Structure 1
């Protein structure tokens, strides 16, 4: 266990993500001084954590010794019986307890062995809480310092000293001061620039000052932890201290504040310690994003200059042919829920009417892009798909629409009738998502289709006139080698889509891959700079350049997801939502609407996740959006 002792709260999330970026799977326990610990829900002091660990360890060791003794006694009794009557014992087979004994099941050898196994597992889990490393954090208004101690013996000694200090409760305990002057581990310190360089009379208002201070404290703290762990472990992280999902948004914001590209790049490197390679990718993407954002109605990035405000529309179709191993999105099997699909489309139509009334007629907003995702939108029968698209076209003004995307997604859902329904409306872009071209992997991840079906679906879409196709691939799927990834990239390159999105596998909390990890841990899951570079090289050969990027928690190899596109084929909706430059009105169950506030922050509301509940409560979902997007005169 890595114990983190803080003198204030509010930085736990950032510390947790950064430490686990260096040490995937590490367990962290947060500790506080006595007064602070008792004011926080679940807060503990070092003394309380150490006492709890020692008691639980003693209990686990006692139980293990008890069951080891019982198993040994039983084995000894069996050996005596075998020695006394080997012939008859062999005829009977394995030892059996006397029938009718009140404790027959619990005293059988199998039951005893199970008890022993449970006791061993309990002790193993308890020992995970043994202090292996300690991170000592001291945050002040004028400076921050940390001590990282990775030596187990020193870590235990530090925990004992912290526990004694907690018990004494002195405001300036000498034992705490001594911990900062130790010869082992890494001690790092940095003075906060806000209180050195700024004149008091130049400080902003108190609220803004607190926000700026907190932001600087967070960045400095993460930088110090990064330096300590990087030196101790002998490795760097390609994304430095960044743990958020939108690195390019940070860069866009810096450029929007008036910084030059050189100034923004230097600031990004110094503040977040991003590698040169990742920084170069970010700069390339941001340059491209700014051109795309000028074509739509955004709020502050130099968008369309007609004085009108825009929005994008998202519709969620939560049905799927099957649930993929890595997926955590809300989805429902299409066969089981087929009878519910007409009612679901009716509910979407009610939400579309709300959009027309509120955004089009009242607010006079411009609809810039539409994205229909899921789930698998092409799980809908062709006639329902046609009905939904007709509703959108007939009730909303699409005259200034820059992009209309449908995630056809699963090749086993793509039929001629469905493509005809899509082609018959204003849809400009579709996705056909292989994830891999290796049939064995497709079966393993629950994709109930073959690589041949991918080729067939792609060819059919081309024959229907679709000239803007995206394809998704995942790097790091179970059991896939570098050779497997390269074969997939070769096949995709031969097809020649206008867009290619490369995902690094992310272990989602509710995905089957995570919930049933023991079943899949035997497979190699590799995602690395080398594989991402391989994908980038194939994208370049295909004439595709990166245009958007985002990261996720628990992503393989601490990598990222990158969208590549030919010039002029960039996914407008992808940029708008990822860089949070435009309001997103989201329809359907589990759909998350997002409002961009004047200060650049966001507010949001989510529809209920259950499909039956969404249909029954669609009017309430509309009212949620009405409140979110309310504008005072």
Structure 2
């Protein structure tokens, strides 16, 4: 199906295209002249005291016209443009629900990655949880269940956020190791599969150590303290024990690990990269949180998605971590993997819960362009498995809450199966601080290494400046001098 948009002004596309995609998944959506299977005309006029929104939609079933006039609030001030866009989104959302005969998004007009940030802004304005829920329902069109969830998560993680004064004193650091032992079929991250360890890893680490040293000098110059460190990727535990020791020595020498550092997480997502000596190195270097990520506890699915381990390998590694004494263990699972339904989800949930991890992160499969699985699933209707996925998410929520876990962070992605989210659960008191700071965007994050993202945050000025290192290891190595220079400039600009 082809949907042709005629928008006045054309900039409305940025406000409504995600809602259109949710209403008509898998359809071509174009801003062009000429007929489509559906022709969607939408215009916005900003008048002196009101905005006027008009729509005409031609479908095979007939023509639908709608118009709405919204009085401009007296206190809108410089926020008029954003307020008008919100009215357009709400108008379009209501219209699309009417056209499709269904609720197109359980999060209403919120289509971004970080909906909890909105709740924190409303808390900043002095609203109560009940008042925030009401605004989410009425102004943003959320379903009641999702509104309650967002308020619950914001209430849980808000005590861990910095004030504007505190935020200027602290950073967290992410280190990206863009290598994996193999590529999972659902993954689009263009990190490298290790083929020749010495040829691949050694030049990359030389560039990473250069970046670590240079940014360390700037952090000290600016008087910034590191609260949390997160080693991600890729799969950081593809590094040898020797190179992990080297990496942690660089981090300690650079002041990234000090008396101020309260959390050090390592993504050891692939059990086939772990052994007891490597885990002891992590423990001895202060790692107090580790991620053992089965994704599923069904061996048939693990083989299909390209994971070179089975569930017994996951259990063995989990027990090794407990034996070595690393304080917290997170386990990631994915709902929406090929061939999996409620029975497979139940099996995974029961086996993961039997291990009693400190954190469980429940992901809803997002098929990114470029993933091998997305290429294979192109012939499948996007709506085919939505009910199964939603049932799986509900199942995990019920079982995890019954077992005493609470949700503490949430983010969403494009191309997710169903209108769902990625949701982090934890035992009370076992929240991952890095995840909270990274998702809620109230602390500067310094990204070092391949594919690492930095967020330079000035809470007082309300500014956020994102900066990303190249994902390709060779491109990263070639550009490390430029990357260092840019980050030093951005860090100095904060203070």
1:342 lines up with 2:210 in the alignment: no
Aligned to 1:136: 41
CA distance change for structure 1 residues 148 and 550 in 2, over 3 Å: closer, same or farther? farther
2:128 maps to which of 233, 239, 260? 260
1:190 maps to which of 68, 73, 78? 68
1:532 maps to which of 378, 390, 393? 393
CA distance change for structure 1 residues 507 and 146 in 2, over 3 Å: closer, same or farther? farther
CA RMSD in angstroms, aligned pairs only: 2.1
Give the TM-score taking structure 1 as reference length: 0.74
* Farther-moved stretch of structure 1 (369-378 vs 524-533): 524-533
CA distance change for structure 1 residues 376 and 521 in 2, over 3 Å: closer, same or farther? farther
Aligned to 1:249: 117
Quote the offset at 1:339 in angstroms: 2.5
Distance in 2, matches of 1:481 and 1:261, equals 35
Q: How do 1:171-570 and structure 2 match up within 5 A?
A: 184-185=63-64, 187-194=65-72, 197-198=73-74, 204=77, 208=78, 212-236=79-103, 237-293=105-161, 298-300=162-164, 309-359=169-219, 361-396=220-255, 397-518=257-378, 525-526=385-386, 528-570=389-431
Distance in 2, matches of 1:482 and 1:269, equals 30
Secondary structure of the corresponding residue to residue 99 of structure 2: helix
Secondary structure of the corresponding residue to residue 599 of structure 1: coil
1:613 lines up with 2:480 in the alignment: no
Distance in 1, matches of 2:340 and 2:144, equals 28
Q: Which has the higher strand share?
A: 2
Secondary structure of the corresponding residue to residue 558 of structure 1: coil
* Farther-moved stretch of structure 1 (583-592 vs 332-341): 332-341
Alpha-carbon deviations, 1:238-294, whole Å to 9, x = none?
11111101110011011112222222222222221001101111111000111222x
Gaps of 5+ in 1: 31-43, 51-130, 155-183
Aligned residues: 487
Distance in 1, matches of 2:58 and 2:239, equals 55
1:624 maps to which of 480, 483, 486? 486
Distance in 2, matches of 1:203 and 1:436, equals 48
Asked if structure 2 preserves the Cα contact closer than 8 Å seen for 1:474 and 1:504, the reply is yes
The structure showing larger relative contact order (alpha-carbon pairs under 8 Å, at least 6 residues apart) is: 2
Quote the offset at 1:520 in angstroms: 7.5
CA distance change for structure 1 residues 466 and 541 in 2, over 3 Å: closer, same or farther? farther
Quote the offset at 1:522 in angstroms: 11
Distance in 1, matches of 2:402 and 2:96, equals 38
Alpha-carbon deviations, 1:86-117, whole Å to 9, x = none?
xxxxxxxxxxxxxxxxxxxxxxxxxxxxxxxx
Quote the offset at 1:590 in angstroms: 1.9
Distance in 2, matches of 1:518 and 1:140, equals 39
Aligned to 2:461: 599
Quote the offset at 1:224 in angstroms: 1.2
CA distance change for structure 1 residues 509 and 144 in 2, over 3 Å: closer, same or farther? farther
Could you list the structure 1 runs, at least 4 aligned residues long, displaced by more than 6 angstroms after superposition: 519-524
Quote the offset at 1:232 in angstroms: 2.5
Quote the offset at 1:521 in angstroms: 7.5
Alpha-carbon deviations, 1:531-585, whole Å to 9, x = none?
2111111211332100000000011101100000011111111111111101111
Alpha-carbon deviations, 1:374-426, whole Å to 9, x = none?
00000001110111012212321521112110001111111112111101111
Quote the offset at 1:592 in angstroms: 1.5
Distance in 2, matches of 1:564 and 1:506, equals 19
Asked if structure 1 preserves the Cα contact closer than 8 Å seen for 2:217 and 2:254, the reply is no
Quote the offset at 1:613 in angstroms: 2.9
Alpha-carbon deviations, 1:186-242, whole Å to 9, x = none?
x33332332xx42xxx774xxx2xxx2221221111111111221232211211111
Distance in 1, matches of 2:279 and 2:494, equals 43
Gaps of 5+ in 2: none
Aligned to 1:112: none
Distance in 2, matches of 1:439 and 1:503, equals 18
1:152 lines up with 2:28 in the alignment: no
Quote the offset at 1:337 in angstroms: 4.5
Bigger-Rg structure (1/2)? 1
Secondary structure of the corresponding residue to residue 426 of structure 1: coil
Alpha-carbon deviations, 1:37-79, whole Å to 9, x = none?
xxxxxxx4x3xx35xxxxxxxxxxxxxxxxxxxxxxxxxxxxx
Distance in 1, matches of 2:431 and 2:338, equals 30
Quote the offset at 1:148 in angstroms: 4.9
Aligned to 1:575: 436
Q: How do 1:102-121 and structure 2 match up within 5 A?
A: none
Q: Which has the higher helix share?
A: 1
CA distance change for structure 1 residues 147 and 401 in 2, over 3 Å: closer, same or farther? same
